[in-house]
Amino acid sequence: MKKKWCKMKWVGLLFLCCLSASLQFCIVSSTSSPQPLLTNQGHQESATSRTLKQELEDPPEVHCSRERSRAAWKIIQEYLMPFVEKERYQIPRTCKLHPSNDLYRDQEEHKSLVELNDWQCGYCKKRFYDEKFLDKHFDNRHYNLLNVSHSRCLANVCGALHCDLAMDSVPHKKTKCNPAAAARNKHLCEGLADSCFPVSNGPSASRLHEFFLRQFCDAHTCTGGRKPFSQGRRKKRSSISYLVISILTMLLLLLFYSYIYMYRSGVKRGTQELKRLTQSGRKKKPI
């Protein structure tokens, strides 16, 4: 009987130990289970703080002038591309005048002038009353869309394309010519002619090569020879002239039909008046 009671005592102690261990395990499990949630929340908070920090940070500096790139693009479109399109020539991608070399081309194409003093961003539809503020918006909010991995900058060819002359809307006093700068720009210009219009690419390329030298390169001299863009530019007023002619034609038609209407109205009124006078004269005739 005594042995049996000892065995029951040991079984009870073993049961209590197991129960205590299981309770401790449950307590530890319950206290440790929220940790992953806290970890995930901490991770989300850190990600949010990193995103906020990136938004507050200044955009990376881009060593490419947007204004000069825009001036170079305008010169290419007005003084070169009409002649290239006339020859049906495709500018190679290796040419620095190719649209792919313009770092800001995609952003410039996402500009829209809704009306006077109303510029709209094509990415987020925000509006600005001046283009320069839209440019700052691009720099601050959409700089991540710029592919700065390649050394693409259309402003780098401004020296060859006379961008300073095109950007200078207000005439200033003529500065003294720098022979070294003129020689450097002419060398750059001739390099563009060779890479963009190789004479070995056929008659069209050969003609455009010669045209490019006359249009841009010959003016890089201090001797006062040719002027820039001596070969002419694109006719920008063709659409305006068409509009003016259309308005004048409509006005002439309006005047013509007004004259016809007034003439017919006058003839009809005159006929009625003559008829009335005739009838009144017959009534007054003595018997």
The whole-angstrom separation of Cα 111 and Cα 107 is 7
| pLDDT band at residue 283 under the 50/70/90 scheme | low
Least confident of 37-51, 119-133, 145-159, 234-248: 37-51
| pLDDT band at residue 131 under the 50/70/90 scheme | very high
The whole-angstrom separation of Cα 138 and Cα 125 is 12
| pLDDT band at residue 265 under the 50/70/90 scheme | confident
What b/e string do you get for 1-22 counting C-beta neighbours within 10 Å, with b at 16 or more?
Answer: eeeeeeeeeeeeeeeeeeeeee
Beta bridge partners of 112: 120
Least confident of 42-51, 135-144, 240-249: 42-51
Share of the chain above pLDDT 90, in %: 47
Average pLDDT over residues 250-267: 75
| pLDDT band at residue 40 under the 50/70/90 scheme | very low
Q: Check whether 188 has a pLDDT greater than 70.
A: yes
| pLDDT band at residue 56 under the 50/70/90 scheme | very low
For residue range 220-246, what is the model confidence (pLDDT) as tens digits? 999 877 889 988 876 544 555 656 777
Burial class (CB in 10 A: 0-12, 13-18, 19+), 267: exposed
> Which among 102, 131, 101, 97 has a CA at the least distance from the CA of 114?
131
pLDDT value for 224: 76
Residue with the bigger pLDDT between 14 and 144: it is: 144
For residue 166, give both structure tokens.
Answer: 């095109």
Average pLDDT over residues 267-284: 66
pTM of the complete model: 0.62
Strands 111-115 and 127-128: unpaired
Distances (CA, A) of 181 to 171, 185, 220, 222: 21, 6, 9, 10
Q: How many Cα atoms occupy the beta-carbon half-sphere of 116 within 13 Å? A: 0
Spatial contact of 242 and 85, defined as CB atoms under 8 Å apart: no
pLDDT value for 246: 73
pLDDT value for 34: 41
pLDDT value for 10: 56
Residue with the bigger pLDDT between 16 and 160: it is: 160
| pLDDT band at residue 8 under the 50/70/90 scheme | low
Q: Check whether 122 has a pLDDT greater than 90.
A: yes
pLDDT value for 268: 66
